[in-house]
Amino acid sequence: MARVRTAVLLSGRGSNLKSLIAAATAADFPAEIALVLSNVENAGGLEVARAAGIPAVAISHRDFESRESFDRAIDAALREANIALVCEAGFMRIHSDWFARVWEGKLLNIHPSLLPAFKGIRVHQQALDAGVKISGCTVHFIVAELDSGPIIAQASVPVLPGDTAETLAARVLEKEHKLYPHALQLVAEGKVKLENGRAVFV
């Protein structure tokens, strides 16, 4: 089985990267984590990748004059590594419209809420402030509009009395680690595709 060469883009410690790497060690998993890119030179996720024998590269956004010029450098690195799918996992940069178009249907993100609720940042505090009883996480295709791409998969958790943003985040993160490999598997196997602005399951 030819596995789909997949890159992970991140800015932080790489906890979701760990779950993707672990899933990809299974012989029947349809994707291979072939490259990790970060905009932060000392991101912990880069060391996670290197420890697993995965090429890891830092490309600082600070070295570029515009969002698109940075994205073009990311694009070049992805193409050089023959990447077919991209998973963003805590990548704290908003892409240019150009990048979203070029990688449309091949670009996944995980967000720590049940989209379309609570987009952007400080998501868990948003959920607590709204008084919701259920929160969770979403894997979606990335489109030009922030946190608005078609949904591939979701998982929910209860919001408990006395929760803080930190305790809720920890509960959601456990779900993220299971949901992201599942969503990547669906896309890599061709069971879900982005067509005409919708996630179509086949």
CA distance 198 to 14: 29
Tokens 């990447």 locate to 83
> Structure tokens of 97?
């419209």
Q: Is the dihedral of CA 83, 85, 88, 92 positive or negative?
A: positive
pLDDT in tens, 158-192: 999 999 999 999 999 999 999 999 999 999 999 99
pLDDT in tens, 60-109: 999 999 999 999 999 999 999 999 999 999 999 999 999 999 999 999 99
Catalytic machinery residues: 111
